[in-house]
Amino acid sequence: MSAQQAESDAGRVATTTRKPLNPLLVLSAQVAVFVIVMGLWQGLAEADVLDPFFFSRPTAIVAQIWKWVATGFIWPHLATTLVEALMAFVIGTAFGVGAGLALARVELLARVFDPYIRILNALPRVILGPIFILWFGLGIASKVALAVTLVFFIVFFNTFQGIREVDPVVLNNARMLQASERQLLRYVYLPSAMAWIFSSLHTSIGFALVGAVVGEYLGAARGIGYVVAQAEGVFDTTGVFAGLILTSAVVLLIDLGINRLERYLLRWRPGN
């Protein structure tokens, strides 16, 4: 078979007898779910079944977000939160990949640190918030520290697992071709662990943001978490919901970016 032939045949592939779902159907069902939930919320709030004081209403939330955006009030807060999350993400990922590599490659380290890592990971991180504020102050550092404790473990466990699951045949082949330890790392271990590391990035980017927001909520002068805490202080339910929705929207956007990066970097896998 020639390369050209294979190329021209690529568009004419067989499908299995099970009919694939119509993407349009999926999309319209998704829109329907959104409309029904929001409509119910709005309707019940209008009819005073749900007390708007406790539950707010979708139109008010959208108006609030729009006001924040239009007046420019939200941008410095959003920027602060994003900087914190990004720093935590980078630091946590770097340490997570480093520690995962070290422990997966050196049996002694893995055995020694295993119980301690379990203990640390079992700590409820929110409790660490006040301690970090004591240590690092009310500024950005305490939020970054809190988010790092969340990101690190996710990336660490996934890297560790990914390195441990390297195909021994592929590894032996590289060794027979006289790869040095460093070359094994670069050519075999890291690419092989990449799929695991990526699946951890999806989770950890969310956790980085959650860590930052919770840190701000516990004590800060700016940031989305601070805005939510302020709104809560004056029983402004609409403001609390608006802050929450803004946070998830940002996470969703970043996640889409990671998806694209992942598709490119893992293009060697079957099905990509």
Partner 1 sequence: MTTSASPAVAFEDVTIRFRAPRGGVHTVLQHVSLEVRDGTFLAIVGPSGCGKSTLLNVAAGLLTPPEGRAVIFGKPLDGINKHASYLFQQDALLPWRTVLDNVMLGLAFRNAPRAEAEAQARGFIERVGLRGFEDRFPHQLSGGMRKRVAVAQSWIVGPRILLMDEPFGALDVQTRQIMENELLDLWQESRQTVLFITHDLEEAVALADRVVLISAGPGARIKGDYEVPLPRPRDVAEIRLNPDFMQLYKRIWSDLRDEVRHSYEAGNR
Residue with tokens 């990526």: 198
Q: Which is nearer to partner 1, 58 or 191 (CB)?
A: 191
Question: Binding residues for partner 1, per CB under 8 A?
Answer: 2-4, 169-170, 172-180, 183, 187-188, 191-192, 194, 267-270
* Rounded Cα gap, residues 207 and 86, in angstroms: 11
* Rounded Cα gap, residues 211 and 87, in angstroms: 11
Q: Which is nearer to partner 1, 150 or 188 (CB)?
A: 188
* Rounded Cα gap, residues 250 and 89, in angstroms: 14
Q: Which is nearer to partner 1, 31 or 170 (CB)?
A: 170
CB of residue 40 to partner 1, shortest distance in Å: 47
* Rounded Cα gap, residues 60 and 66, in angstroms: 10
CB of residue 159 to partner 1, shortest distance in Å: 16
CB of residue 272 to partner 1, shortest distance in Å: 9
CB of residue 177 to partner 1, shortest distance in Å: 4
Tell me how far apart the terminal alpha carbons of the chain are, to the nearest angstrom. Answer: 22
CB of residue 179 to partner 1, shortest distance in Å: 5
CB neighbourhood size of 165 (10 A): 13
Q: Which is nearer to partner 1, 133 or 188 (CB)?
A: 188
Q: Which is nearer to partner 1, 188 or 209 (CB)?
A: 188
Angle between helix 140-164 and helix 74-105 axes, rounded to 10 deg: 40
